[in-house]
Amino acid sequence: MDNLKKRELVSKIFIFISTFTAILGLFWLVFILSDLLIKGAASINWSLFVDDFVPPGLPGGGMKPAFIGQLIIVSIAVLIGIPIGLLGGTYIAEYGRNSKSAKFISMLSDLATSIPSIVVGTFVYAVVVKPMGHFSALAGSFALAIIMIPVMLKTTENMLKLVPWNLREAAFALGTPYYKVIFQIVYKSALTGLLTGTILSIARIAGETAPLLFTSLNNSFLSCNLTQPMASLTVTIYRYAMGPYDNWHTMAWAASFVITAFILILTIISRILVKWRYSKNG
């Protein structure tokens, strides 16, 4: 009897520890997000979005060039990355379904989603920035696209594989060529999934800093020239947070809040989409 009590006590202790670790995990999340909310949301004001940078040490100013730059860099990355990822995933799930090379590519993409982003930055520096002779927004977009492609490819593959095979067979039986089956039937029934993949890939790159450090670099002025260095929100946050001025820190917190809120909202939307689409139809 004593032994039994001891075993139960040990069990209770470990259950307590395990519960405690879960609380610890949630604690970090709440800790970080609440700091962002307190320090960031409180210091958001209109001038953050509409005012230009001011020289170091002067009061006022905003981050307009960084917001515009971020929008341009990410949009171009999306324009390059999404189509390539989508088509590549289509090949792996459709034409290459049973081939060994497609399986190999799928595995490689899985690994590629975790390549250190700073390595991608050095690579783009070597193949784009160096031959061009200077830093450019395009190089930054290219770096982000590289990070995005494997993510989009894997999600596309998984989503297309969820489409039942007999749906395709039904179309084949009517004499429909494969490309039409893909574009008009498979894509249509996997639409929510593909949208989720797109949102997730954007969320994945929107907060990246390391690959932009030496590709799009930075710019103290508003620039829309793709072949020149361009300020991005993340690199600006890094510069401002590491700087010695208090008003820089406040602005960095505010910008961080904006970017994190954007990414978390995207992530949560994509999760709701998946839940809504795939729990309804089994």
Q: Which is nearer to another protein, 89 or 193 (CB)?
A: 89
Q: How far is the CB of 63 from another protein (least distance, A)?
A: 14
Query: Hey, which residues between 198 and 227 contact another protein (CB under 8 A)?
Result: 203, 206-210, 213-214, 217
* Residue found by looking up tokens 């492609």 in the block: 149
Query: Hey, which residues between 68 and 127 contact another protein (CB under 8 A)?
Result: 83-92, 94-96, 102, 104-105, 107-112, 114-123, 125-127
- Alpha-carbon distance of 231 to 129, in angstroms, equals 16
User: Which among 22-30, 42-50, 60-68, 158-166 is the span making contact with another protein, rule CB under 8 A?
Assistant: 22-30
User: Which one among 192, 222, 260, 274 touches another protein, defined by CB under 8 A?
Assistant: 260
Q: Which is nearer to another protein, 50 or 115 (CB)?
A: 115
Residues in binding contact with another protein, number by CB under 8 A: 93
Total residue count of the chain as it appears in this document: 282
User: Assign residue 225 a region: left if phi > 0, alpha if psi is -120 to 50, beta otherwise?
Assistant: beta
* Residue found by looking up tokens 């932009």 in the block: 212
Q: Which residues of 54-65 are buried (b: 16+ CB within 10 A; e: fewer)?
A: eeeeeeebbbbb
Closest C-alpha among 74, 76, 71 to residue 49: 71
Q: Which is nearer to another protein, 138 or 182 (CB)?
A: 182
* Residue found by looking up tokens 């639409």 in the block: 191
Query: Hey, which residues between 42 and 71 contact another protein (CB under 8 A)?
Result: none
User: Which one among 61, 238, 247, 269 touches another protein, defined by CB under 8 A?
Assistant: 238
Q: How far is the CB of 75 from another protein (least distance, A)?
A: 18
| Count of beta carbons in the 10 Å neighbourhood of residue 198 | 22
* Residue 134 near another protein by CB under 8 A: no
Closest C-alpha among 163, 158, 152 to residue 198: 152
Query: Hey, which residues between 158 and 187 contact another protein (CB under 8 A)?
Result: 177-180, 182-183
